[in-house]
């Protein structure tokens, strides 16, 4: 358990250090509007990659059809500008229904 | 007045923001309950997901670290996987550095609230003031609901049974889709970088450790310079 606690502390400290990079550099390093634009775009690139890998893979393997199908249902609703709660509940509900029907 | 009826009234905006934040919090709460439940149902004590949520506060890294622990991968591998996944928060914190606020306290507290959701929320706003408001309102709301829901899920633990049954693993990617769609719709350059980036991430996912695929996606940024020639 001590090892687990140390692991959590190390993960917390490292994560906070990553999160401080922006606030600490801000004002000390001159960030041009172009670089700021690149960083904003980079953040969206990371988010899209995260959702794509999160929807389709699990531990480096294909996550099965139920999850991406649910995310697709949520995505279509989001495209139609449905509220967040509808998007999320529909995504989880579609995945749950597919699994209940025997689709992995 | 008549010609601008489609434009949002300034007085409506705080209400709209609160409504959107509340809905993202609800979604985050569903994911949080499943995180707490998965950790405890897998055999970890209640304090592990609870303390982790308070001081690490990063959903995908927490899922991965607990996943490695439950798979018997050991604390070192769990910490390394979580840290690798969280390297992206360094890029996020640079992207929202001027959003947090000027004061030392605002920057040091705000840094802890830098997550996928708060950054997406802030960047979706059209001007600096609304970006700052959106960041803090969503940050405080999400921190509170995430930790309370993880606690609830951890206490419910095994009583929920197999969480895959509820399809909760589809919830987090769906939240991200809803959050990035405004940016993808609004800006062709963002689409040109993000879509190839995601393709690269998916292509390398089977052969590299967790966390690396998302970082590899940054290669998609090269698409921003290709067509301009001498960029």
Identify whether B71 is part of a domain: yes
Residue B9 lies in a domain: no
Is the pLDDT score of B225 beyond 90? no
What's the average model confidence in pLDDT over B29-39? 87
pLDDT at B168: 79
Q: Tell me phi and psi for residue A62, to 5 degrees.
A: -60, 135
B174/B206 same-domain check: no
- DSSP code per residue over A38-87: HHHHHHHHHHHHHHHHHHHEETTEE--SHHHHHHHHHHHHHHTT--HHHH
Domain membership flag for residue B1? no
ipTM of the complex: 0.85
Q: Quick one: B106 and B203 in the same domain? A: no
Please indicate whether, in this complex, the C-beta atoms of B206 and A8 are within 8 angstroms of each other: no
B96 in Cβ contact with B135 (< 8 Å): yes
B137 and B203 belong to one structural domain = no
Q: What is the pLDDT of residues A6-47, one digit of tens each?
A: 999 999 999 999 999 999 988 787 778 888 888 888 888 988
Q: Do B184 and A48 touch (CB under 8 A)?
A: yes
Of A25, A66, A79, the CB nearest to B167: A66
- By the 10 Å C-beta count (0-12 exposed, 13-18 middle, 19+ buried), A30 is classed as exposed
A83 Cβ partners below 8 Å, 6+ apart? B23
Q: How many domains does chain B have?
A: 2
> At A18, is the secondary structure helix, strand, or coil?
helix
Local structure of A26: helix, strand or coil? strand
Give residue-wise pLDDT tens across range B88-99.
Answer: 899 999 999 999
What is the Cα–Cα distance from A54 to A63, expressed in whole angstroms? Answer: 9
Same domain, B116 and B194: no
CB contact under 8 A, B111 and A9: no
Please tell me whether residues B168 and B196 are part of one structural domain.
no
With beta carbons under 8 A apart, name residues in chain A contacting B69: 4, 7
Residue spans of the domains in chain A: they are 64-104
Q: Does the pLDDT value for residue B231 go beyond 50? A: no
Flag whether the pTM goes above 0.80: no
- Any domain includes B160: yes
B40 within domain boundaries? yes
DSSP-H helix ranges across chain B: 13-41, 47-55, 59-70, 75-86, 88-95, 97-100, 104-112, 116-123, 128-156, 171-186, 188-204, 212-216, 223-226
Distance from the first to the final alpha carbon of chain B: 44
- Residue A86 CA, chain-centre distance (Å), reads 18
Are both B207 and B130 inside the same structural domain? no
- Specify whether B119 is located in the same domain as B200: no
Residue-range definition of the domain harbouring residue B132: 14-179
Tell me, yes or no, whether B7 lies in a domain.
Answer: no
Same domain for B138 and B30?
yes
Q: Which of B52, B75, B220 lies at the smallest CB-CB distance from A6? A: B75
In a domain? residue B4? no
The answer for B 64-123 residues in CB contact with A (under 8 A) is 65, 67, 69, 75-76, 78-79, 82-83, 86-98, 100, 107-108, 110-112, 114, 116, 119-120, 123
| In a shared domain, residues B212 and B163 | no
CB burial of residue B70 (10 Å; 0-12, 13-18, 19+): middle
Note whether residue B31 is domain-resident. yes
């Amino acid at each position: 358990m001590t090892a687990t606690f140390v692991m959590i502390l190390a993960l917390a400290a490292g994560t906070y250090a990553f999160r401080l990079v922006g606030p600490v550099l801000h004002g000390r390093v001159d960030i041009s509007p172009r670089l700021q634009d690149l960083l904003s775009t980079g953040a969206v690139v990371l988010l899209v990659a995260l959702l794509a890998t999160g929807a389709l893979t699990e531990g480096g393997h294909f996550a099965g059809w139920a999850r991406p199908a649910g995310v697709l249902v949520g995505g279509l609703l989001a495209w139609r500008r449905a509220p967040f709660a509808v998007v999320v509940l529909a995504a989880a509900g579609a995945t749950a229904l597919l699994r209940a029907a025997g689709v992995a | 007045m008549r010609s601008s009826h489609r434009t949002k009234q300034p007085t409506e905006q705080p209400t709209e923001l609160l409504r959107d934040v509340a809905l993202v919090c609800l979604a985050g709460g569903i994911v949080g309950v499943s995180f707490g439940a998965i950790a405890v149902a897998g055999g970890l004590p209640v304090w592990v997901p609870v303390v982790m949520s308070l001081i690490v506060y990063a959903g995908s890294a927490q899922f991965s670290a607990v996943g490695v622990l439950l798979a018997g991968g050991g604390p070192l591998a769990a910490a390394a996987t979580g840290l690798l996944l969280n390297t992206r928060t360094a890029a996020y914190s640079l992207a929202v550095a001027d959003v947090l606020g000027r004061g030392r306290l605002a920057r040091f507290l705000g840094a802890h609230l830098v997550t996928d959701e708060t950054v997406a929320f802030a960047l979706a706003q059209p001007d600096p003031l609304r970006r700052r408001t959106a960041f803090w309102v969503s940050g405080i709301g999400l921190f509170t609901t995430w930790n309370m829901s993880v606690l609830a899920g951890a206490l419910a633990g095994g009583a929920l049974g197999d969480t895959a049954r509820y399809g909760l693993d589809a919830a987090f990617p769906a939240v991200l889709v809803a959050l990035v769609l405004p940016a993808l719709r609004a800006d062709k350059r963002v689409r040109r970088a993000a879509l190839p980036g995601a393709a690269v991430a998916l292509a390398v996912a089977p052969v590299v450790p967790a966390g690396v695929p998302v970082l590899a996606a940054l290669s998609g940024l090269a698409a921003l310079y290709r067509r301009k020639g001498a960029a």
